[in-house]
Amino acid sequence: MTNHRIAGKGRVDHGRPVHFTFNGTRYEGFQGDTLASALLANGVHLVGRSFKYHRPRGILAAGSEEPNALVGVTHGPGRFEPNTRATVLEISQGLSTNSQNHWPSLKRDIGAVNDAAYMLFSAGFYYKTFMWPKSFWNKVYEPFIRGAAGLGVSPTQPDPDTYASRHVHCDVLVVGAGPAGIAAALSAGRSGAKVILLDEQAEFGGSLLSETDASIDGRSGWDWLTMAMTELAALDNVTLLPRTTAIGYYHQNFVGLCQRLTDHLADVPQGTPRERMWKVRAAQVVLAQGAIERPLVFHGNDRPGVMLAGAARTYLNRYGVKVGQSALVVTTHDSAWLAAFDLAKAEGKVVAIVDLRPNISSHLRAKADSLGIEVLAGWTVTGTSGRLRIKSARVRPADPTAGGARTIACDVLMMSGGWTPSVHLFSHTKGKLNWHEEEQAFLPGEHAEASRTVGAGNGSFGLAKALAEGAEAGADAASDAGYNGRSAQYMVTDETELTGIRVRELPTDQNPGKAKAFVDFQNDVTAKDIRLAVREGFKSIEHVKRYTTNGMATDQGKTSNINGLAIAADAVGAPVPAVGLTTFRPPYTPTTFGAFAGYNRGRLFEVTRKTPIDGWAEAKGAAFEPVSLWRRAWYFPQAGEDMHAAVARECAAVRASVGIFDASTLGKIEIVGPDAAEFMNRMYTNPWTKLAPGRCRYGLLLGEDGFIRDDGVIGRMAPDRFHVTTTTGGAARVLNMMEDYLQTEWPDLKVWLTSTTEQWAVIALQGPNARRLLEPLVEGIDLSDDAFPHMAVAEGHICGVPTRLFRVSFTGERGYEVNVPARYGRAIWEKLFADGQAYGITPYGTETMHVLRAEKGYIIVGQDTDGTLTPDDAALGWAIGKAKPDFVGKRSLTRPDMLKKDRKQLVGLLTDDPMMVLEEGAQIVFDPNQPIPMKMVGHVTSAYWSASLNRSIAFGVVEGGHSRMGETIYIPMPDRTLSAKITGMVFVDPENSRLNA
Amino acid sequence: MLLIHCPYCNAERPEVEFAYAGEAHIARPTDPSQLDDDQWRDHLYIRSNPRGLHYERWRHIHGCGRFFNAARDTLSDKFVTTYKASLPRPQIVQSEDTP
Ligand SMILES: [Zn+2]
């Protein structure tokens, strides 16, 4: 073991060594160490290179606010995670870690040339550098930015871990288990309220773990903590969640918690999820998130070895690690003095305390004297030296007129600019933050939710205040949740009252234009960048932030926001609140996608709807395609066939004999009631009053804006009953729209709507032999053309099963759609397929269905329409009941825009080269020789190879297309320009003679 | 995630059970043909889009299926009240800090 660890000190288990690697070197730490504490125990400060300038960086903090020490972690095969903060990563046996953002090595990094080319990367460098010339964007700038940007390296393999999620309700949720949170949980827990207490760290205790001088009720802080946690653990109504981060605070006390379950384990029990997302609905919330120490802003404040004084104190007291052999303390706040005293008492060397404040309280001075620490009050630090680790700092009196600069050798610089209350979760709720001039901090004002903020997060610094406020809030929260909450009194002794001042950059006698005084360590933003942004006209912190990227890194500016804001306010010459505070957004700390996805991945990501016949298609080797949530048989390839060959064969079979098609996905709505016909008249464009029972009609549905929303064949089963079909993807939308009108506009109509999509299996038989196949199996329906003509519907039986039989065609051939209760779908399909062998029956999929319907000029709503086509645009004007006084969308059809002659209209397109199948979505122009950017006048909506015609066919929308029959339009493609003639949309059998063939 | 009170179920349920359905109290004219082009345009497209109290429609789509109305503050997202579709717009006195 190295001499950085103090034997027996801290809360790590000195009896349980843990071995891990960092950049290939094997190190030893103890059970209970974070990667950061273990590296520091081994004297390793240099842990990474910065994002923009590739400057060597060390460990700044001891918690989740860490901006520098981001590492790549390998937990095992496929378990690589970049950008993990070394300060929160618990080490486990065999853990493998690596530093980031450098090549070829951490100590010698080529990218550090960025540091020399500082001007190129100053504030707004993206905006200034990559503006011109435009042609450079694709080839030069974008690859450069992509190469330079991004922290670490993305994992390359699918995540092998599982992630869990859980919903839970509680009475009092306490976020943060420092003294304030624990006191709150005790008060609330003792009342019997259901309490959840969580903390992002592995161990509960917060500042009690690091700050060890004060006593509670006559016990040491650690003894009190043990007692308190023992009591809480014994309460059945209290749930304790360590390693759990409250990532977001949403409406009505809905809080997202991400619990890390396995990352700290060397051996993960089989089947254990890596993380669990808790979705908590709490009656009351107590926020006890504490405070984050502010760095000081001075030239060279980012050198490895420069760290927050509070972090150094944590490493000492909690982990038993001396962060250096000779420490220089630089501060504007009393708390750093306590860190210095603890280090000196542990026989660490503190070379000096540099405090910007000329007047230091006498008891601190006396203590420093007694420990033999030199005090430089009213002094500042103006720079540091050392390439990969701080070697010295230059200090001088803050008074610019005074002389006497000194260089002080040190291997660690402990700094403190005071403390920033963590108001992130409070801010998520849109709670109002108030600027407190005295504290120099934004503190929670009025709460927008049923919540309370306590302790340092509320600006109530110190152990006594934290305990008192926490105990009170826990009791009040329990009472508000309906319990009899009672507060408790805690007697705190030996606590030092702490004060401090907040400054912007530390005063310096050096040229500030050359200073690299970092504000945002992770995004490499300096004080100079922020002042430059203000000089260039950015006055609001939201703009300064985006221009400089201050606070926009993965740490969300936990250590940089307030310093950046103070500097910006100074540069603007306005008070801090006038410049504003940027909005904090969830998640509080970076959160894995896995935790958000939870169980909803792979097969469970989205429902796959399957028809009763799906299994048959799968067994037959069908290729499938997704259509909304359904998976549909796309085509049925035979041995050696590609899609093109299969579709050509299927098409030919339908037109020559008979094809069988699973149309079960069609949306179906049963519309029933005395006013059913009136309701249909109002909803659809077509007239329904005179449609006789037993007959069908093509129905067209518009939105109130006059644009086509849906279509489908509708059968009238009885005077008061319609069997409506919709597009496959439109069923739920159409039913919602119908319910909307029925419930809110026409509640007087006696009509009931029922979704029957999944009640019916639908088998389409299409082709000249369809009737011959069907007739022997059907009972109770006369299938003769006189009795059962095209667009007839009847109820009867097929193979003894009740059926609604439709005589409809979406192919242009004689066609029937056999509706049977879904549970009989597979059996009837198999029977039809077996008997159909006599006719060479051919199963076909959606692709053949699309080709056949296109050959006949039938549109598909949603493919050939896009929400901007009127019935006239789609050549469906014939489907409008002209005599009807009103229907949904009717009034819009006469709006001036709807009557324009140059509207995009749906037409047929025949390519001049018959072998060329157009690309769906391709843009259309009238003049192919016009300069780029060309005026686009439409696009191709459907395009297929037609086996019947032995040529390509297409539909497209073209401006004024209906009056341009026979004209040639052009389709510019990347490699050539294609041409096509505008035609009508019916390519096959315009006389419809085949419907009765 | 918001909790929404369905006035038909008389129960508070999570937002995922509901679907938003636009501004409330915009009745479809009894005879749209009587409206001139501008009036019809306003009926179709012009909405109040207030900063603050907004009367709007929701549907308990994964519950009872009923459309109902709500008064909601667009600044805080919070629901002030919900009420059945047939009821008139309730009079709500806004607090001082709500514009
Ligand atoms: Zn309901």
Question: In terms of Cα–Cα distance, which of A247, A290, A302 is closest to A520?
Answer: A302
How many angstroms does the Cα of residue A617 sit away from the middle of ligand 1?
39
Sheet strands (E) in A647-783: 659-662, 667-672, 696-702, 708-718, 721-726, 752-755, 760-766, 778-779
- Burial track A51-61 (b if 16+ CB lie within 10 A, e otherwise): bbbbbbbbbbb
Name the closest residue on chain B to residue A250, using Cα atoms: B1
Give residues with Cβ within 8 angstroms of A792, minimum separation 6.
Answer: A694, A695, A696, A806, A807
Best probe of the A interface among B44, B55, B87, by most A CBs < 10 A, is B44
Separation of B9 CA from ligand 1 center, angstroms?
Answer: 4
Check: CB of residue A415 under 8 Å from CB of residue A433.
Answer: no
Cα A745–Cα A747–Cα A750 angle in degrees, nearest 5? 130
State how far the Cα of A758 lies from the Cα of A153, in Å rounded to an integer.
47
Q: Beta strand A938-946 with A923-924: parallel, antiparallel or unpaired? A: antiparallel
Residues A764, A844: Cα–Cα separation, whole Å:
10
Which of chain B's residues have a Cβ under 8 Å away from the Cβ of A890?
Answer: 32-33
Closest residue to B32, CB basis, from A254, A886, A896: A886
Alpha-helical runs (H) found in A235-350: 309-317, 335-345
- What backbone phi and psi angles, to 5 degrees, belong to A166? -150, 135
Do residue B57 and residue A747 have CB atoms under 8 angstroms apart? no
Q: How far is the CA of A704 from the centre of ligand 1 (A)?
A: 26
pLDDT for A3: 75
The Cα-based distances of A483 to A113, A182, A450, A451, A814 in angstroms read 63, 18, 15, 16, 74
Query: Could you say which of B28, B37, B44 has the minimum Cβ distance to residue A745?
Result: B28
- Chain A with chain B: Cβ pairs closer than 8 A: 54
A748 shares contact with chain B (CB less than 8 Å): no
Q: Which of B12, B30, B31, B37 to mutate to test the interface with A (most CBs of A within 10 A)?
A: B37
Q: Which residues of A touch B77 (CB under 8 A)?
A: 251
Instruction: For residue B3, report the distance from its CA to the centre of ligand 1, in Å.
Output: 12
What would the pLDDT profile of A458-475 be if each residue is shown by its tens digit?
A: 999 999 999 999 999 999
What is the CA A809 to chain-centroid distance, rounded?
45
What ipTM describes this predicted complex? Answer: 0.96
List the single range of A137-141, A378-382, B69-73, B79-83 with lowest mean pLDDT.
Answer: A137-141
Give the minimum alpha-carbon distance from A888 to chain B in angstroms, rounded to a whole number: 10
Inspect the interface and report whether the beta carbons of B44 and A430 lie closer than 8 Å. Answer: no
Measure in Å the smallest separation between the Cα of A747 and chain B Cα atoms: 9
Tens digit of each residue's pLDDT (9 = 90 or more) over A772-799: 999 999 999 999 999 999 999 999 999 9
Distance CA A561, CA A173 (A): 27
Q: How far is CA A16 from CA A28, A32, A93, A732, A796, in A?
A: 10, 9, 10, 61, 80
Using DSSP's 3-state secondary structure scheme, residue A821 falls into strand
CA distance A251 to chain B (A): 6
Q: How many whole angstroms from its chain centre is CA A726?
A: 33
Using CA coordinates, name the residue in chain A closest to B78. A251
Contact B44 A704 (CB under 8 A): yes
Residue A819 makes CB contacts below 8 A (sequence gap 6+) with A723, A760, A761, A762, A803, A804, A805, A806
CA distance linking residue A322 with residue A7, whole number of Å: 11
Strand, helix or coil for residue A517: strand
Q: Do A252 and B86 touch (CB under 8 A)?
A: no
The H-assigned helical ranges of A251-387 are: 309-317, 335-345, 362-370
| Interchain contact, A739 vs B67, CB within 8 Å | yes
Is some CB atom of chain B closer than 8 A to the CB atom of A891?
yes
Closest Cβ opposite residue B85 in set A281, A743, A890: A743
Taking the C-alpha atoms of residue A900 and residue A960, their distance in angstroms, rounded to an integer, is 9
What's residue A1's pLDDT?
A: 43
Residues in B touching A705 (Cβ below 8 Å): 44
Give the CA diameter of chain B: 43
Decide: A839 and A658 in contact? Cβ < 8 Å: yes
Distance of alpha carbon A43 from alpha carbon A36, whole angstroms:
10
Nearest partner of A476 among A853, A187, A152, A96, judged by Cα: A187
> Which of A165, A250, A251 should be substituted to probe chain B, the one whose Cβ sees the most B Cβ atoms within 10 Å?
A251
Cα dihedral A519, A524, A527, A528 in deg (nearest 10) = 180
- A431 min Cα distance to partner chain B (Å): 10
Q: Which two tokens stand for residue A434?
A: 């108030």
Neighbours of A906 (CB within 10 A): 25
Residues of chain A scoring pLDDT < 70: 1-2, 103-104, 110-114, 116-151
What is the reported pLDDT for B99?
40
Closest-CA residue of A relative to B59 is: A740
Note whether A890 contacts B: Cβ–Cβ < 8 A: yes
Beta bridge partners of A433: A444
Chain B residues whose CB is inside 8 A of the A254 CB are: 1
Q: Residue A49: its pLDDT value, please?
A: 87
For residue B94, the model assigns a pLDDT of: 66
Query: B54: helix, coil or strand?
Result: strand
Task: Choose among A845, A840, A861, A853: nearest CA to A809.
Answer: A853
Helices (H), A82-141: 113-116, 125-129, 136
Assess A896–B contact: CB distance below 8 Å, yes or no.
yes
**Could you tell me which residues of chain B have a Cβ less than 8 Å from any Cβ in chain A?**
1-3, 19, 21, 27-28, 31-33, 35, 37, 40-41, 44, 57, 59, 61, 65-67, 76-78, 85-86
Q: What's the confidence (pLDDT) of residue A127?
A: 61
Nearest to A153 by CA among A102, A100, A108, A107: A100
Give CA–CA dist A82/A71, Å, rounded: 6
Indicate the pairing of strand A163-175 with strand A195-198. Answer: parallel
Nearest CA in chain A to B66: A743
A118 close contact with B: CB closer than 8 A? no
Q: Determine the pLDDT at residue A997.
A: 83
CA quadruple A603, A607, A612, A617: dihedral, nearest 10: -50
**CA A249: distance to chain centroid?**
16
Flag if B35 and A891 touch (Cβ within 8 Å): yes
- The minimum CA-CA distance between A83 and chain B, rounded to whole Å, is 29
pLDDT value of residue A143: 57
**Cα–Cα dist A324/A312, whole Å:** 9
**Burial of A577 by CB count in 10 Å (0-12 exposed, 13-18 middle, 19+ buried)?**
middle
Q: Rounded to an integer, what distance in angstroms lies between the CA atom of residue A634 and that of residue A578?
A: 62
Note the Cα A364 to chain centre separation in Å: 49
- Shortest CA distance to A729 belongs to which of A906, A865, A616? A865
**Cβ-based burial of A636 (10 A; exposed 0-12, middle 13-18, buried ≥19):** buried
Facing A743 at nearest CB: one of B33, B40, B66: B66
Give the Cα separation of A528 and A537 in Å (integer): 14
